[in-house]
Amino acid sequence: MTKTKSETYIAEINDLDKKGSGRAVVWRDIGEQNPRKLKLTIPQTLPGEKVQVTVGQPDRKRTRVMPEEIVEAHPERVGPECPHIERCGGCVWQHWQYTGQLNEKTRHVKKVLEEQGFDPNLVHDTIGMENPWHYRNKMEFTFAKDGSLGLHELGNWRKVISLETCLIAGKEMVEATMEVADWAKEHQLSGYDKDEHEGLLRHLMVRQSFATGEIMLGLFATESPNGELSQVAQDLVARITDKFPQVKSLLWLENTDWADRTQSENTHLLAGRDFIYDEMLGYRYRIWFDTFFQTNPTQAQKLVELALEMAKPKETEKMIDLFCGVGTFSLPFASRVGKLAGIEIVPTSIESAKRNANDNGISNTYFLAKDARNGIDEVLESFGIPELLLLDPPRSGAGGKVMRRIGRAQPERIVYVSCNPDTFAVDIKELEPFGYELVEVQPVDLFPHTMHVECCVLLVKK
């Protein structure tokens, strides 16, 4: 079979896809009356730009290619600061001036709301960061087959780029990560092969509290640190404790599952304790390796403050915190309402929420480990109808059944904290038949240099 010859095009970027890459259409002249459409996905491009690309298999209907040359640049294009930008799949918008990123996020939130019939003028400008670098308090790095440590290549989860730096992680986090990378290299430890399902080291998770400075290092491996690996593990302990006194938790986590997730079948505490302390708005939280906690503490605090400002909680009111996690929103709200019930499907998170409430001297909370829809029914039966309900669902949204259950409960005010505008717009549409009105939408940028944006939203009963 003859291989199709590659073809070069000048493509104009029409818009962006959900991963932040540019999209374009070119027309192939195949010697027939009607040219054939070829849809292109082109990373690291901006709307309106014209770029040169070469398509290796132009006989396809759609394909992904990298730009060879920016023929006409967007006026907000800037030079990326990270040396990994050409290959890393993380900060895909480093080439976009930060104000442009914020404007695009505002535009997207308005667009998805307008598509559902809401007034886009209710959306405020996205709140950005004064310094949109080194903002993350948690990172997960992956070991390549040769034992080198890094991040997944753009568009190829099987390929790992060796790490030199990371400009969105805290600086001390990167330094500790590089020490682990050097340790693995010096001991010639193998990385996990996803195809053959063999090798020792899988992931390194690093977390740091920006409030307390405490760091957690969690090394995910396919074997225990005992027996033949005992001396190797002890060398890691010696190196980390000597150079990084701020590491208060050093964990070795066994994971033999085929799924490529940071999970643990057996957790070995190498040094320190199995959690670190973090703080937000004066409240202290215990953070374990599998605890969900907002990864941008600076903006997360603004998000909590916005929720409080919109909700205007009163000490005479009852409140439900749906998808409450470890109590990120629960604790600040519980200090301002009469009673608060938190609902979360993950039992370990509920145990953490109870412990966090106790650590902060908060006694007016009730936490329930149950799925959202059934949890609401159980709480309403014993708790009564709340004046205030807050929900902070995962990216997939709360779903129609949960939203309709909220609507039937008839709280006076609903604060929806969203990490995905697309699902949130669909969710709140479910509340309209129950008499709820959208009052305001405030996007907040928790993930600079990516396409993600969070929203804090207020709905009230008419």
Give the DSSP per-residue string, 145-184: TTS-EEEEETTEEEEEEEPS--SSB-HHHHHHHHHHHHHH
Same fold, 7-72 and 138-280: yes
pLDDT recorded at residue 193: 87
Looking at the DSSP bridge assignments, the partners of residue 268 are 252
Confidence of residue 353 (pLDDT cuts 50, 70, 90): very high
Cα torsion angle, 391, 393, 399, 402, sign: negative
Pairing of strands 365-369, 339-344: parallel
Q: Is the pLDDT of residue 130 over 90?
A: yes
How is the beta sheet containing 50-55 ordered, strand by strand? 7-12, 50-55, 69-72
pLDDT, average across residues 299-314: 97
Token pair of 18 as six digits: 């959900």
Token pair of 333 as six digits: 């709200």
User: Looking at the domain that runs over 138-280, which CATH code has it been given?
Assistant: 2.40.50.1070
Report which of 73, 92, 128, 77 is spatially closest to residue 16, judged by C-alpha positions: 92
Give the C-alpha separation, 42 to 50, whole Å. 11
pLDDT recorded at residue 329: 97
Q: Which of 88, 419, 455, 456 is catalytic?
A: 419
pLDDT, average across residues 187-196: 90
pLDDT recorded at residue 386: 96
Query: Buried b vs exposed e over 202-211: b needs ≥16 C-beta within 10 Å?
Result: bbbbbbbbbb
Give the C-alpha separation, 383 to 375, whole Å. 11
User: Using one digit for the tens of pLDDT, what is the confidence trace for 385-404?
Assistant: 999 999 999 999 999 999 99
Mean pLDDT of the chain: 93
Residue spans per domain, the chain = 7-72, 102-130+295-461, 138-280
pLDDT recorded at residue 2: 46
User: Using one digit for the tens of pLDDT, what is the confidence trace for 154-182?
Assistant: 767 677 878 788 899 989 999 999 999 99
Q: Is the pLDDT of residue 1 over 70?
A: no
Give the C-alpha separation, 215 to 192, whole Å. 25
Asked if residue 389 lies in contact with residue 322, where contact means CB atoms within 8 angstroms, the answer is yes
Report which of 196, 189, 243, 195 is spatially closest to residue 220, judged by C-alpha positions: 189
Q: CATH class for domain 102-130+295-461?
A: alpha beta
Q: Is the pLDDT of residue 3 over 70?
A: no
419 among known catalytic residues: yes
Q: Where are the beta strands (DSSP E) in 191-282?
A: 201-208, 215-221, 247-254, 266-272, 276-280
371 Cβ neighbours under 8 A, 6+ residues apart: 345
Q: Is the pLDDT of residue 223 over 90?
A: yes
Element holding 22 (H helix, E strand): strand 22-28
Asked if residue 200 lies in contact with residue 221, where contact means CB atoms within 8 angstroms, the answer is yes
User: Using one digit for the tens of pLDDT, what is the confidence trace for 238-287?
Assistant: 999 999 999 999 999 999 887 777 888 899 999 999 999 999 999 999 99
pLDDT, average across residues 95-120: 97
* CATH 2.40.50.140 applies to domain 7-72: yes
Report which of 418, 331, 323, 308 is spatially closest to residue 371, judged by C-alpha positions: 323
Q: Which residue type occupies 166? A: C
Report how far apart, in Å, the C-alpha atoms of 300 and of each of 295, 323, 359, 422 are: 8, 16, 21, 20
Report how far apart, in Å, the C-alpha atoms of 274 and of each of 51, 179, 320 are: 50, 20, 30
User: Using one digit for the tens of pLDDT, what is the confidence trace for 321-338?
Assistant: 999 999 999 999 999 999
Radius of gyration of the chain (CA): 24
Neighbours of 349 (CB within 10 A): 22
Q: What is the pTM of this model?
A: 0.91
The better pLDDT of the pair 83, 184 is held by 184
Q: Where are the beta strands (DSSP E) in 273-317?
A: 276-280, 283-287
Q: Is the pLDDT of residue 4 over 70?
A: no
Give the C-alpha separation, 73 to 45, whole Å. 9
